[in-house]
Amino acid sequence: MITSRHWPIVNGGGEVVAPSCKLRFSGRLSDLPMARHTADVTCRRCLASDRYKEVVREQEERDAVRKQAREERAVLLLIERHREEFDEILTNEAVLDVLEG
């Protein structure tokens, strides 16, 4: 359990106050390996904790919002690119009509 990477509980000042598994560690808290990213957590009790699950859920929600915004920007960019091509084709057709007629 000590060699596992734990998910930290952080206070308002940004200091780690405990691991999410609430492991009673007899040494210094700074000696416990803490994970910086959710994917790095290896402690089974931390993985099962409500705090960790809440962080993962919030992260997934933010990722979904970012993905949706990215897709919307891509669609708008594609529409704009095709609009320019369409306008160019119409201009070329108008020039051909003038030259032929």
pLDDT digits over 23-70, tens only?
Answer: 777 677 777 888 888 888 888 888 999 989 998 999 999 999 999 999
Asked whether residue 32 is assigned to any structural domain, the reply reads yes
Residue 101 has pLDDT above 70, yes or no: no
* Rounded-to-integer distance, Cα 44 and Cα 6, Å: 9
Letter string b/e over residues 34-71, b meaning 16 or more CB atoms within 10 A of that residue's CB? bbeeeeebebebbbebebbeeeeeeeeeeeeeeeeeee
Most confident of 3-7, 9-13, 23-27, 76-80: 76-80
Total domain count, the chain:
1
Asked whether residue 64 is assigned to any structural domain, the reply reads yes
Residue pLDDT, tens place only, 72-91: 999 889 888 888 887 888 88
Asked whether residue 1 is assigned to any structural domain, the reply reads no
Asked whether residue 91 is assigned to any structural domain, the reply reads yes
For position 64, what pLDDT does the model report? 96
The boundaries of the domain holding residue 54 are: 8-100
Asked whether residue 3 is assigned to any structural domain, the reply reads no
Q: How far does the chain reach from its first CA to its final CA, in angstroms?
A: 86
